[in-house]
Chains A and B, each alone.
Chain A
Amino acid sequence: MRLNDDVELGDGSPIIYIRSLSLIACADLHLGYEGVLAKEGVFLPKYNLSFIENEIKKAIERYKPKQILIDGDIKNEFSKVYVEEFNEFMDFMKFLNYYKVKVILVKGNHDNFIDRLKEPFGFEMYKQEHLIKNYLFFHGEELPKSKKGNFLIMGHIHPAIAIYNAITKEKLRCFLYGRFNGKEILILPALSYYAEGVEVNNLANNLNEISPIFNIIDFRELEAYCLGEDETLYFGKIKDLVF
């Protein structure tokens, strides 16, 4: 669905498209998740990578972008590098190279080994933030240093909305959009198959602890765009979604 003339939110997908940049963007892929868990004694079938590739493939075929930006946390672990993560990262890069899109990585808190892979795969890489024209991409665990850019895009918090009815509670992944100090901000849902999401409309969750961005913006004023199976719908402001 269209957020504005230039930005499109994926229909049922956590990937956005920015027309003026011919760019698609996503965040929080957590590649290698299953492999890392297997090391801990949980033997998940491998699905995350193929799920992500399929989502990206659909977006590329639909928008035909020239570039893709990954807004942090492409891999899962932040303290170590596991061979499982390394392998999946290689496979993923090969997959992107096949589509001949320019790859831009904004490193997040989990992405500590990818520097040395820059050369063979030829991707651009930036630490924590990167400005393209008016759009400032940053991962979100730190406040951006740059004062430039009027449209901020971040990941990191895996936003979701919990909705209760008489019988059940449903958790929906969502985009969060809002304005502050004359700027706009868009928070991307996680692309990882496994990220259930943090319930941003549950006041018991202390969002300030997750990202310092909530020290400077009032999260209750943010608007949620929730993801369904194949569509994305506007759900209003978080403050109206507190049940």
Chain B
Amino acid sequence: MILYSNKPFTKEDSLNALNPKIREWFESKYKELSPPQLFSFKLIKEEKNILITAPTGSGKTFSAFMAILSYLFDLAENNKLEDKVYCIYISPLRALNNDVYRNLSEPLNEIYSKYNIENKIRVGIRTGDTPASERQKQNAKPPHILVTTPESLAIILNTPRFIEHLKNVRYVVVDEIHELANNKRGVHLSLSLERLNDLIGHDFIRIGLGATLNPLEEAARFLVGYDEKGSERDCIIVDATWDKKMEFITISPVKDIVNETDEKIEESIYKILDSIIKSNRTTLIFTNTRSGTERVVYNLKRKYNYKDEELAAHHGSLSREVRLGVEEQLKLGKLKCVVSSTSLELGIDIGSIDNVVQIGSPKSITRAIQRIGRSGHSFNAIAKGEIIVINRDDLVECTVMLDRAKKRFLDSFNVPKNPLDVLAQHIVGMALNKKWKIDEALNVIRRAYPYHNLDKKDFISVIAYLSGMYVGLESRRVYGKIWYDEAKGEFGRRGKYTRVIYYLNLGTIPDEVSIDVYTLDKKWIGDIEEEFLERLKPGDVFVLGGKLYRFERAVGMKCFVTKAEAQTPTIPPWFSEQLPLTYELALEIGKFREEFANAVKKDLEEANKKALISMIRFNKFSIGKNAKEILDKMPINEDAKLAIFNYFIEQLLYAKEIPNDHYILIERTRDLENKRNYIIFHSLYGRRVNDALSRIFAIAFGDIFQTDVGIIINDNGFVLVFDPVVDIEDEDIKEIIDNITKVDVSRLIKENIKRTEMMKRRFRYCAARGFMILKNYKGAKISVNKQQINAQALLKTTELISEDFPIIKETYREILEDVMDLSNAKKILHNIRDKIISYKIIHTDLPSPFAHVLITFGEADIVMMKDRRKRLRELHEMVMKKIKEKIKD
């Protein structure tokens, strides 16, 4: 059962749960117990599984480890400590492992310097960075506390010499659980834990640590899984998220973010950043992308003369040495400011940060809280944070985000269910351990929460795939990684390379194909995906790092561009650097839109006609009384209030309509050059919902009008892009909406998703995870570039086998469940059918203000025409027409 614990134990009870020496050390260091510690010392002593969520500075690590060290000290003092692993600590970040190692060494060394204890407790790190010699030493004499990553744990489970040492494992600590529970990396870990349990033949105490996430019950289930009999293991949740005080505000960098130039906005952002940095001791700045991090550092140094010793970048692309150096400087309090993408979101010990600045929307209330929670080094300190918005949609979004954060409203996450690619990796790993009966293996797998409802058919199909049953007998020697005896219902390892394949290819983070983008004078700008490059032709304009560039040429893995002056890209990007806005927050923004639009309308009605006309003429508005009443309650600065007011009033004056959570605006318009027609759906439901809705509509339109349909998507809506020759009436749109709300859209989208670009990319990821494309084979690393070319061929033929082929099936699942939010998309369609959500079609000459960010920065895809037979004729006609025009000229 999953239970919340709301009643802390007393300080004395908690301390009594510790070994006397540990207690003595703890009390010499800390006067008080932090809120989570008042729960954890005793609960862990009582052998309870426990999930603790709390912001930075809450002594989370010690809340778990004090009790564990106590147990080990008890053993040591009674001469019962063996050369075995008693505790495994797992975190998603190597840097965190180093921290934990240091944090544990401190009490141990200090206690050992005071007391002469013969039986010393050893802590050891084992990650990809650990040298082979060190690993060998561990194989001979294991650490009592093993500090590792999910990937290294999976390798340990297949290291025969080490497995012996795991038999006594009593504790497993999973740190940063909020970074694991919502993705395949975490799913991978959940299976490893069940395999560990099976290998050592007994349960262990599970301790989860992390920043907040919602729902916590889901995270707890993910942590503990199910026992042999299939009942949920017990877990106690300790939620200390709100025990730290937080102050935060949304800042608009300029008064009029709608009409101000990009340069001016940028200049203002840096000015604000400079003043924040100067008025605080240490500031942590989050950007949403790595390239953004680099840009901010570069510009701050250039504009405000920060020196390298004062200001640094920290992100995943930087070398380990550089990152460690930055962390060290931070801890010593030497840096004034550090800029990071996501790498510092996790709980690396970075000393005291007094202020967190987020540039651009963090896209989720929960993430905003997690990030702002990084500031204020102790529990008693106040966490302080600012979000500086970069465009008008960001502004509205962050305003609502922080308002809801204040009200402790959190958006939710999902654990991916039954991913077959991750399963394939573990089946290979399990086969390496021993020969399995099918049902026995399935029983172990179903104990992991993400696989609790795994269909046996799917399980068997993965086994069949891994045994190479999709090729002829004579090829299985090469294709098969396991053998499978159908009659006996058994499987096991096959071939001498399988172990090596497992070691070198496990993991869930896909390789990105990146093409470096340079200006003609060889200045690096960023990178794009190979698939995207494949679509570019000279002259195309696209967005990179928030700026527009014209494609000139490509040479190998390099792409050359020039700065473009055009207002909109001719080709929108194929992928988004942005995280998707959560559905819950999207709905809240929709509600705000309605409330605020009503206020603005009222202000317009009440306004003096003459004043209004002059306001419109001079483009200078002052906030009306009704609008002001709402804005004054929001955690935003004065410029932001005016900017929001301006944004809404311009949309109202231009389009007369403000869409909201139960009112979708459908805007028919075209691009500036009149080359493409747009149908814009102002559907603010978050990108994952719009990902699904846009493709559903594109499929329907494409089939009826026999055409390719381009798509542009973001959190606030989506655009269907048509060649102007396609003639669509408003009535057609209504009819299509009418039909779509009545059909089985899951089937529609599943049957047609292969016509999209997204399928190709996602298939490559799944094929690599499922060991169908190896990144690393027989000592040779296969370039991502080659992986990708091969993936396209692979998809082409794999589709011929069967729709149920596990890697194809998983690609569909990943797209429909992880990438898209089909279930909420369906909810929206049902609500349209039931008239809970209404819509209106309007026509504009140019896109209305609410569509500008979408069209400029949205992510693109294409749904290809269904009937390939007609394709050649259509292209032929088009080409002949073009040639005729050419000849006429």
A167 to B778, CA, bound (A): 42
Contact between chains at B537 and A243 (CB < 8 Å): yes
List the A residue with the shortest CB-CB distance to B675: A166
Contact with A along B471-494 (1 / 0, CB 8 A): 110110011000000000000000
| Residues of B contacting A78 in the complex (Cβ-Cβ under 8 angstroms) | none
Residues in B514-540 with C-beta less than 8 Å from chain A: 535, 537-538
Tell which of A38-46, A130-138, A151-159 binds the partner: A38-46
Contact with A along B162-193 (1 / 0, CB 8 A): 00000000000000000000000000000000
List the B residue with the shortest CB-CB distance to A12: B872
| Residues of A contacting B723 in the complex (Cβ-Cβ under 8 angstroms) | 165-167
Contact between chains at A170 and B800 (CB < 8 Å): no
A40 to B721, CA, bound (A): 41
Contact for A40 among B710, B782, B876, CB less than 8 A: B782
Residues in A21-66 with C-beta less than 8 Å from chain B: 34-35, 37-47
A34 to B537, CA, bound (A): 31
- Within 8 Å of chain A (Cβ to Cβ): is B445? no
Contact for A45 among B471, B778, B792, CB less than 8 A: B471
Shortest C-beta distance, B684 to chain A (Å), equals: 25
List the B residue with the shortest CB-CB distance to A202: B537
Contact between chains at A47 and B872 (CB < 8 Å): no
- Which of B538, B794, B878, B886 is packed against the most chain A CB atoms within 10 Å? B794
Contact between chains at B774 and A204 (CB < 8 Å): no
- Within 8 Å of chain B (Cβ to Cβ): is A79? no
Contacts A38-B475, A168-B708 known; A233 to B872 CB distance under 8 Å?
Answer: yes
Contact for A229 among B537, B722, B862, B872, CB less than 8 A: B872
| Residues of B contacting A41 in the complex (Cβ-Cβ under 8 angstroms) | 501, 773-778, 780, 782
- Within 8 Å of chain B (Cβ to Cβ): is A124? no
| Residues of A contacting B777 in the complex (Cβ-Cβ under 8 angstroms) | 40-41
Shortest C-beta distance, A194 to chain B (Å), equals: 5
| Residues of B contacting A145 in the complex (Cβ-Cβ under 8 angstroms) | none
Contact for B798 among A38, A45, A235, A236, CB less than 8 A: A45
Contact between chains at B869 and A240 (CB < 8 Å): no
Shortest C-beta distance, A158 to chain B (Å), equals: 14
11 further contact pairs, Cβ within 8 A, besides A41-B775, A226-B876: A38-B475, A38-B479, A44-B798, A45-B471, A46-B472, A166-B722, A167-B710, A226-B875, A228-B869, A240-B886, A241-B879
Contact between chains at A170 and B871 (CB < 8 Å): yes
| Residues of B contacting A44 in the complex (Cβ-Cβ under 8 angstroms) | 790, 793-794, 797-798
Offer 28 A-B interface pairs, CB within 8 angstroms, sorted by A. A35-B475, A39-B478, A40-B777, A41-B501, A41-B775, A41-B777, A41-B780, A42-B787, A42-B794, A43-B471, A44-B797, A45-B471, A47-B800, A164-B537, A165-B723, A166-B722, A166-B723, A167-B708, A170-B875, A202-B537, A229-B868, A229-B872, A231-B872, A233-B872, A233-B873, A233-B876, A236-B883, A243-B882
A125 to B871, CA, bound (A): 39
Contact between chains at A87 and B879 (CB < 8 Å): no
Contact between chains at B709 and A167 (CB < 8 Å): yes
- Within 8 Å of chain B (Cβ to Cβ): is A93? no
- Within 8 Å of chain A (Cβ to Cβ): is B258? no
- Within 8 Å of chain B (Cβ to Cβ): is A172? yes
Contact between chains at B864 and A87 (CB < 8 Å): no
Contact between chains at A87 and B471 (CB < 8 Å): no
| Residues of A contacting B538 in the complex (Cβ-Cβ under 8 angstroms) | 204
List the B residue with the shortest CB-CB distance to A38: B478
Shortest C-beta distance, B723 to chain A (Å), equals: 4
Residues in B71-118 with C-beta less than 8 Å from chain A: none
Contact with A along B692-724 (1 / 0, CB 8 A): 000000000000000111100000000001111
Shortest C-beta distance, A113 to chain B (Å), equals: 19
| Residues of B contacting A37 in the complex (Cβ-Cβ under 8 angstroms) | 790, 793
- Within 8 Å of chain B (Cβ to Cβ): is A163? yes
A241 to B775, CA, bound (A): 38
A172 to B868, CA, bound (A): 12
- Within 8 Å of chain A (Cβ to Cβ): is B826? no
| Residues of B contacting A87 in the complex (Cβ-Cβ under 8 angstroms) | 474
- Within 8 Å of chain B (Cβ to Cβ): is A230? yes
Contact between chains at B709 and A228 (CB < 8 Å): no
Shortest C-beta distance, A226 to chain B (Å), equals: 7
Contact for B872 among A40, A46, A226, A241, CB less than 8 A: A226
Contact for A228 among B501, B773, B864, B872, CB less than 8 A: B872
List the B residue with the shortest CB-CB distance to A196: B792
| Residues of B contacting A163 in the complex (Cβ-Cβ under 8 angstroms) | 875, 878-879
A34 to B722, CA, bound (A): 38
A120 to B774, CA, bound (A): 38
A148 to B774, CA, bound (A): 49
- Within 8 Å of chain B (Cβ to Cβ): is A183? no
| Residues of A contacting B709 in the complex (Cβ-Cβ under 8 angstroms) | 167
Shortest C-beta distance, A32 to chain B (Å), equals: 11
Contact for B864 among A168, A172, A194, CB less than 8 A: A168
Shortest C-beta distance, B37 to chain A (Å), equals: 49
- Within 8 Å of chain B (Cβ to Cβ): is A147? no
- Within 8 Å of chain B (Cβ to Cβ): is A116? no
List the A residue with the shortest CB-CB distance to B772: A43
Shortest C-beta distance, B597 to chain A (Å), equals: 34
| Residues of A contacting B868 in the complex (Cβ-Cβ under 8 angstroms) | 228-229
| Residues of A contacting B869 in the complex (Cβ-Cβ under 8 angstroms) | 228-230
- Within 8 Å of chain A (Cβ to Cβ): is B880? yes
- Within 8 Å of chain A (Cβ to Cβ): is B841? no
Contact with A along B545-580 (1 / 0, CB 8 A): 000000001100000000000000000000000000
A135 to B501, CA, bound (A): 51
| Residues of B contacting A165 in the complex (Cβ-Cβ under 8 angstroms) | 708, 723, 875, 878
| Residues of B contacting A38 in the complex (Cβ-Cβ under 8 angstroms) | 475, 478-479
| Residues of A contacting B776 in the complex (Cβ-Cβ under 8 angstroms) | 41
Contact between chains at B880 and A236 (CB < 8 Å): yes
Shortest C-beta distance, A4 to chain B (Å), equals: 21
- Within 8 Å of chain A (Cβ to Cβ): is B470? yes
Contact with B along A154-188 (1 / 0, CB 8 A): 00000000011111111010000000000000000
A229 to B782, CA, bound (A): 33
A165 to B708, CA, bound (A): 9
List the B residue with the shortest CB-CB distance to A37: B790
A38 to B772, CA, bound (A): 9
Contact between chains at B797 and A229 (CB < 8 Å): no
| Residues of B contacting A34 in the complex (Cβ-Cβ under 8 angstroms) | 797
A226 to B475, CA, bound (A): 35
- Within 8 Å of chain A (Cβ to Cβ): is B801? yes
List the B residue with the shortest CB-CB distance to A226: B872
Contacts A233-B876, A240-B886 known; A45 to B478 CB distance under 8 Å?
Answer: no
Shortest C-beta distance, B799 to chain A (Å), equals: 9
List the A residue with the shortest CB-CB distance to B875: A163
Contact between chains at B801 and A45 (CB < 8 Å): yes
- Within 8 Å of chain A (Cβ to Cβ): is B676? yes
A236 to B724, CA, bound (A): 25
A165 to B879, CA, bound (A): 9
Contact between chains at A167 and B862 (CB < 8 Å): yes
Residues in B738-785 with C-beta less than 8 Å from chain A: 772-778, 780, 782
| Residues of B contacting A39 in the complex (Cβ-Cβ under 8 angstroms) | 478
| Residues of A contacting B721 in the complex (Cβ-Cβ under 8 angstroms) | 166-167
A177 to B378, CA, bound (A): 77
Shortest C-beta distance, B554 to chain A (Å), equals: 7
Shortest C-beta distance, B532 to chain A (Å), equals: 12
A164 to B468, CA, bound (A): 40
| Residues of A contacting B883 in the complex (Cβ-Cβ under 8 angstroms) | 236, 240
Shortest C-beta distance, A173 to chain B (Å), equals: 11
| Residues of A contacting B875 in the complex (Cβ-Cβ under 8 angstroms) | 163, 165, 170, 172, 226
| Residues of A contacting B878 in the complex (Cβ-Cβ under 8 angstroms) | 163, 165
Contact with A along B122-161 (1 / 0, CB 8 A): 0000000000000000000000000000000000000000
Contacts A44-B793, A233-B873 known; A166 to B724 CB distance under 8 Å?
Answer: yes
A45 to B476, CA, bound (A): 11
A143 to B787, CA, bound (A): 34
| Residues of B contacting A243 in the complex (Cβ-Cβ under 8 angstroms) | 537, 882
A122 to B595, CA, bound (A): 85
